[in-house]
Amino acid sequence: MEKKVEKKETALFLPQLVALGLIASVLAAASQAVNQPAQLSAHVNQEIHVSVNPGVSAGELPVYGQLSDFSFTERNGKSFGANELKQHPWIADFIYTSCTTECPLMSAEMARLQKSLPEQTPVKLVSFTVDPEVDTPARLAEYAERFQAKSEVWKFLTGPREKLYALAQKGFHLPAQAMDVAPQKHHESGHEDSTHDKTASVPKENPFLHSQKFVLVDQDLQIRGYYDSTRPEELERLLKTDLPRLLKKP
């Protein structure tokens, strides 16, 4: 009789044990998914080398736009622009030297790209400032030195604000906007002054809106790819897949 009772109790608890096992499996899978971003971040500093794959065609990359001619001032004080970049694949970004948040991270990734390129590479790296009033050639030179930017590979450009912003917005189709505007003012009646921009709560440490993306441009000034500088897998695709296609282009 006691054995029958034990078997009955075991039968009653069996579904609960199965359910508990399924819950444990789900929790383990969820834990692994949560840990994936950390695992990806661990690969950010891994060095990636560019190699040309003869089986890949440049025509496989889409064309997102065509850049017009432009010319700005490089950190050495000389003019530099579209004429010097033609016949070279290049990677562009928009930064400013007083930025303390995303810009140093972007420049650190750009430095890693520079290190990954082979010697005597035709590839150029180009960083445009969105704060040209502050980022003079001398200041850009100091910033470039911080990231060990090779003058023959990595260029830093400044110039008239309206031309830089037009290139970012209309050429690269990226946001570029100064956020250092005056706070809201009010009339005595309590209504907002319509002559002032309504952006009073902009943090002082981030006075400029700009993209964190790197942009791949081919030898004909055509935009061939956009890559989030915060995502290691996108930068790996840039270096291992897309850039070699342009290097193969005749």
> DSSP letter string over 208-221?
EEE--EEEEE-TTS
Q: How confident is the model at residue 249 (pLDDT cuts 50, 70, 90)?
A: low
Domain assignment present for residue 87? The answer is yes
Domain assignment present for residue 134? The answer is yes
Q: Locate 181 and state its tokens.
A: 């505007």
Check: CB of residue 177 under 8 Å from CB of residue 148: no
CB-based burial, 128-163: b 16+ in 10 Å, e otherwise: bbbbbeebbeebbbebbeebebeeebbbbbbbeeee
Poorest-pLDDT segment among 186-190, 202-206, 232-236 = 186-190
What is the number of domains present in the chain?
Answer: 1
Segment 141-150 mean pLDDT: 97
Which pLDDT belongs to residue 183?
A: 38
Which pLDDT belongs to residue 51?
A: 40
Share above pLDDT 90 across residues of the chain, in percent, rounded to a whole number: 55
Nearest Cα residue to 246 out of 88, 115, 120: 88
3-class secondary structure, 10: helix
Which pLDDT belongs to residue 209?
A: 64
Domain assignment present for residue 40? The answer is no
Nearest Cα residue to 113 out of 220, 240, 247: 240
Domain assignment present for residue 16? The answer is no
Segment 211-217 mean pLDDT: 93
In angstroms, what CA-CA distances link 193 with 185, 190, 199?
Answer: 5, 9, 12
Domain assignment present for residue 24? The answer is no
Domain assignment present for residue 117? The answer is yes
Q: How far apart are CA 36 and CA 224, in angstroms?
A: 29
Which pLDDT belongs to residue 248?
A: 79
Segment 2-28 mean pLDDT: 47
Looking up residue 87, the CATH number of its domain turns out to be 3.40.30.10
Nearest Cα residue to 210 out of 169, 180, 171, 170: 169
Q: For residue 96, give its domain range.
A: 58-179+204-248
Check: CB of residue 97 under 8 Å from CB of residue 105: no
Q: How far apart are CA 70 and CA 77, in angstroms?
A: 16
Give per-residue pLDDT as tens, 220-234: 999 999 999 999 999
**Between 100 and 66, where is the model more confident?**
66
∠ CA 70-73-75, nearest 5°, is 140
Q: How far apart are CA 61 and CA 243, in angstroms?
A: 10
Domain assignment present for residue 115? The answer is yes
Residue 25 has pLDDT above 80, yes or no: no
Which pLDDT belongs to residue 71?
A: 97
Domain assignment present for residue 190? The answer is no
Share above pLDDT 70 across residues of the chain, in percent, rounded to a whole number: 63
Output the average pLDDT for the chain: 75
**Between 49 and 144, where is the model more confident?**
144
